[in-house]
Amino acid sequence: MSVDTSVRLPGMPVKNPVMTASGTFGYGLEFSPYGDLRALGGIVVKGLSLAPRQGNPMPRIAETPCGMLNAIGLQNCGVEKFLRDKLPRLPWRDTPIIANLYACDADEFAELAGVLSAEEGVAALEVNISCPNVKAGGIAFGQDPCMAGKLAEAVKKRAGDKPVWVKLSPNVTDIVSIARAAVLGGADALTCINTLTGMSVDIRSRKPRLANVIGGLSGPAIKPVALRAVWQVCQAVSAPVIGVGGISSAEDVLEFILVGAHAVQIGTANFMRPDMAFRIAQRLPELMAELGIEDLASYRGSLRVG
Amino acid sequence: MALSGACRDLTILSVTEAGPEGGAHGCYYIELANPGLGSAVAGQFVMVRPACFGQDPVWPRPFSICRLTPEALTLFVQACGRGTDALCRLRPGDTATVWGPLGQGFSLEPDTPTLMLAGGVGLAPFVEYAATHPVPANLALVFGHRQPLSCYPFAEMAAVVGRAEAFQENTPEDLPRFIALLETKVAEYAGGLILACGPRPFLMTVARLARRFGARAQVSLENRMACGVGGCLGCVEKNALGQYVQTCTQGPVFWVEELQLSEEA
């Protein structure tokens, strides 16, 4: 049985729904020895800011049951260096490269969007309003529907013909209200979810395991939370949702598509083995054939409830 | 789609106690068959994730290459946490996914008198270093350890290198004596090459002494690491300019003058 793994996202047809999550796949190039980047449905690169950022002090990562905490603090080379040194080496003609944007306020977000929208090699802009590890902006933007809407609007205005995705935080009372506000503000798609805030401590040294004390929890441990968020958001908005959170197999991919996601991002699982995203992309059509799923559009959102 | 094959599923050949007391002290050699990793520079490392990890623990574990031949990759592992505990319980025939060699290894200068300073499991990369050095007579080893000496691959190294001495740290009073020994040795090799691998306080002492005596020295860091390939930015270390460099790709071996080497990275 031949299956069709292609997906239509706004302004961007993709060959398969398996993408990589920001902050877990470097700038893509780090993982090219482990698979063919062109085989992925998309690559979301490490969060970019206008100026380079040093990130948080060490230690920045800690292992937790079925997961990990991170407080990297958006260390990145800055948008200029990315466009000059990294993007030209990525296979952007063959696979969509999605720039993840971080800024401290709406004006800076808009400026960053303006710079990136002029680049042929950038397929879409993913707005990070949900990073738990930075003091200014980040998660504060993602917890207020009004602010989320304003930022989506500010970025959309400067994004030209580039689709704008807004990446949502699970650290909210009602993710649906944020999702609705982002779409009203002009978001073309939503990425659900960023990390959950968490903490780990050492009872002997009496120290937190992260210098930042609090970090973002990711990995298989958070998959049920992500699946729930994607399900709720898909029920509430018509914009496509890209599911992310604890996905580490082709089976997991189908779970997210079953609850309504158009595509998914592989995050922490890239750390389990650097060829993980490639393996999942390779395995997905085999699994679809085994389950008699001809194409993803007919399977999407077909969860039988009640 | 063709995978590059850079991640390889290897079969465990053996898990052997290091010496008669190795098991009691958690020290093991793990041999993996037909690694197919090509050649490596001593000081480079591999990431290892046995199939039994499943989804927990999530991270693979980094290990210095202790010995690499076309037939086998040997790791020297001390069980000290849930990852290393699980690795040391593997049986012949079990599988582990391995990728590498990764990072930058130690400098090799065949004709330069070279001092290897190792602490505990930090001895591992020097086994490969001594085995692949063209003039092992130019090598000297000073090894600080807490477990019985037979728990480490010391005797086989002593048989190969020009000079080897071990120092066991039993009581708190031993530490200043060990540091005094390091001081004498670093001064002696100030005109040569000094290589160090071991716990962070040990490396900081070596770096401090190397600066004082103007010695050329490299240290191999063991920062906590998730991916090992430059993707997570979790293993960074501050360089001399105060900027973060990645231990996995730009290290784990650095010249001491490249780093600040503060207590908390």
- Looking at residue A141, its pLDDT comes to 81
Contacts of residue A271 in chain B, CB cutoff 8 Å? 58-60, 226-227, 231-232
**What rounded mean pLDDT belongs to chain B?**
95
The answer, yes or no, to whether residue A287 has pLDDT greater than 90, is yes
- Looking at residue B3, its pLDDT comes to 37
Q: Pick the closest to residue B49 from B199, B229, B200 (CA basis).
A: B229
Phi, psi torsion values for A302, nearest 5 degrees: -90, 20
Distances (CA, A) of B262 to A134, A263, B226, B240, B257: 23, 43, 21, 11, 13
Question: Cβ separation of B99 and A272 shorter than 8 Å?
Answer: no
| Residue B88 marked in a binding site | no
Q: What is the DSSP letter of B42?
A: B
Q: Are residues B175 and B93 in the same domain?
A: no
The answer, yes or no, to whether residue A30 has pLDDT greater than 90, is yes
Q: What is the DSSP letter of A214?
A: E
Nearest residue on chain A to B98, alpha-carbon basis? A273
- Looking at residue B53, its pLDDT comes to 97
Is B230 inside any structural domain? no
Mean pLDDT across the stretch A277-293? Answer: 98
What's the CATH number where B81 sits? 2.40.30.10
Q: How far is B223 from chain A (nearest CA, A)?
A: 9
Q: What percent of chain A has pLDDT over 90?
A: 92
Alpha-carbon distance of A36 to B176, in angstroms, equals 53
Other Cβ atoms less than 10 A from the Cβ of A297: the count is: 13
Question: Cβ separation of A66 and B58 shorter than 8 Å?
Answer: yes
Mean pLDDT across the stretch A146-167? Answer: 96
Alpha-carbon distance of B182 to B117, in angstroms, equals 8
Is B186 inside any structural domain? yes
Q: Are residues B120 and B176 in the same domain?
A: yes
Per-residue pLDDT tens for B7-51? 999 999 999 999 999 999 999 999 999 999 989 999 999 999 999
Question: Cβ separation of A275 and B4 shorter than 8 Å?
Answer: yes
The answer, yes or no, to whether residue B132 has pLDDT greater than 60, is yes
Contacts of residue A281 in chain B, CB cutoff 8 Å? 1
Asked if A54 and A91 count as a contact pair (C-beta separation under 8 A), the reply is: no
Q: Are residues B86 and B47 in the same domain?
A: yes
List, edge to edge, every strand of the sheet that includes B61-64. B61-64, B45-50, B95-102, B7-17, B27-33, B72-78, B67-68
Q: Are residues B64 and B16 in the same domain?
A: yes
Concerning whether A131 is annotated as a catalytic residue, the answer is: yes
Q: Are residues B124 and B85 in the same domain?
A: no
- Looking at residue B264, its pLDDT comes to 52
The answer, yes or no, to whether residue A133 has pLDDT greater than 70, is no
Per-residue pLDDT tens for B220-261? 999 999 999 999 999 999 999 999 999 999 999 999 999 998
Other Cβ atoms less than 10 A from the Cβ of B214: the count is: 9
Is B246 inside any structural domain? no
Q: Pick the closest to residue A220 from B225, B97, B53, B85 (CA basis).
A: B53
How much is the pTM? 0.95
Is B243 inside any structural domain? no
The answer, yes or no, to whether residue A137 has pLDDT greater than 60, is no
Q: Are residues B79 and B133 in the same domain?
A: no
Strands B114-119 and B193-197, sheet pairing: parallel
**What rounded mean pLDDT belongs to chain A?**
95
Contacts of residue A270 in chain B, CB cutoff 8 Å? 227, 231
Mutate: best of B233, B238, B245, partner A, most A CBs <10 A: B233
Question: Cβ separation of A66 and B233 shorter than 8 Å?
Answer: no
Question: Cβ separation of A30 and B49 shorter than 8 Å?
Answer: no
Of B57, B227, B237, the CB nearest to A63: B57
Q: Are residues B59 and B118 in the same domain?
A: no
**Treating both helix axes as pointing N-terminal to C-terminal, what angle do A223-236 and A175-185 enclose, rounded to 10 degrees?**
50
| Residue A128 marked in a binding site | yes
Is B237 inside any structural domain? no
Taking the C-alpha atoms of B46, B51, B54 and B57 in order, what is their torsion angle to the nearest 10 degrees?
-30
The answer, yes or no, to whether residue B2 has pLDDT greater than 60, is no
| Distance from the first to the final alpha carbon of chain A | 31
Mean pLDDT across the stretch A188-210? Answer: 97
- Looking at residue B265, its pLDDT comes to 45
Task: Specify the range with the lowest mean pLDDT, choosing from A60-74, A133-147, A198-212.
Answer: A133-147
The answer, yes or no, to whether residue A70 has pLDDT greater than 70, is yes
pLDDT band (50, 70, 90) for residue A1: confident
Of B55, B224, B243, the CB nearest to A54: B243
Tokens of A239: 């914009």
Alpha-carbon distance of B26 to B83, in angstroms, equals 13
Q: Are residues B128 and B169 in the same domain?
A: yes
Per-residue pLDDT tens for B72-128? 999 999 999 999 999 999 999 999 999 999 999 999 999 999 999 999 999 999 999
| Residue B7 marked in a binding site | no
The answer, yes or no, to whether residue A57 has pLDDT greater than 80, is yes
Q: Are residues B91 and B13 in the same domain?
A: yes
Alpha-carbon distance of A237 to A152, in angstroms, equals 15
Q: Are residues B60 and B85 in the same domain?
A: yes
Domain final residue, candidates B75, B102, B129: B102
Contacts of residue A210 in chain B, CB cutoff 8 Å? none
Of A23, A65, A274, the CB nearest to B229: A274
Contacts of residue A46 in chain B, CB cutoff 8 Å? 233
- Looking at residue A267, its pLDDT comes to 98
Is B131 inside any structural domain? yes
Question: Cβ separation of B236 and A75 shorter than 8 Å?
Answer: yes
Q: How far is A63 from chain B (nearest CA, A)?
A: 7
Q: What is the DSSP letter of B258?
A: G
Q: What's the residue count for chain B?
A: 265
Q: Looking at per-residue confidence, does A176 or B263 come out higher?
A: A176
- Looking at residue B4, its pLDDT comes to 40
The answer, yes or no, to whether residue B5 has pLDDT greater than 60, is no
Mean pLDDT across the stretch A113-134? Answer: 89
Contacts of residue B60 in chain A, CB cutoff 8 Å? 271-273
The owner of tokens 């590498």 is: B100
Q: So what's the ipTM on this one?
A: 0.94
- The set of residues, in sequence order, having a beta carbon less than 8 Å from that of A202 and lying 6+ positions away, is A208, A209
| Domain containing residue B70 | 7-102
Q: Which domains does chain A have, with CATH numbers?
A: 7-55+74-196+219-299 (3.20.20.70)
Nearest residue on chain A to B233, alpha-carbon basis? A72
Mean pLDDT across the stretch A74-97? Answer: 96
Is B227 inside any structural domain? no
Per-residue pLDDT tens for A293-304? 999 999 999 999
Q: What's the residue count for chain A?
A: 306
Which residue out of A131, A146, A192, A234 is catalytically annotated?
A131
Interface residue ranges in chain B relative to chain A, Cβ cutoff 8 Å: 1-4, 6-7, 49, 53, 55-60, 97, 99, 223-224, 226-237, 243-244, 249, 264-265
Burial A205-232 (b: 16+ CB within 10 A, else e): eeebbbbbeebbbbbbbbbeebbbbbbb
Q: Are residues B121 and B73 in the same domain?
A: no
- Looking at residue B68, its pLDDT comes to 96
Other Cβ atoms less than 10 A from the Cβ of A107: the count is: 10
The answer, yes or no, to whether residue B206 has pLDDT greater than 50, is yes
The answer, yes or no, to whether residue B176 has pLDDT greater than 50, is yes
Q: How far is A35 from chain B (nearest CA, A)?
A: 5
pLDDT band (50, 70, 90) for residue A104: confident
- Looking at residue B1, its pLDDT comes to 34
Alpha-carbon distance of A44 to A22, in angstroms, equals 5
Tokens of A149: 């809407």
- The set of residues, in sequence order, having a beta carbon less than 8 Å from that of B101 and lying 6+ positions away, is B37, B38, B39, B40, B41, B44, B45, B46, B65, B68
Is B167 inside any structural domain? yes
Alpha-carbon distance of A130 to A237, in angstroms, equals 19
Q: Are residues B152 and B75 in the same domain?
A: no
Indicate the number of domains in chain B: 2
Determine the distance from the C-alpha atom of residue A94 to the mean position of all C-alpha atoms in its chain, rounded to a whole number.
20
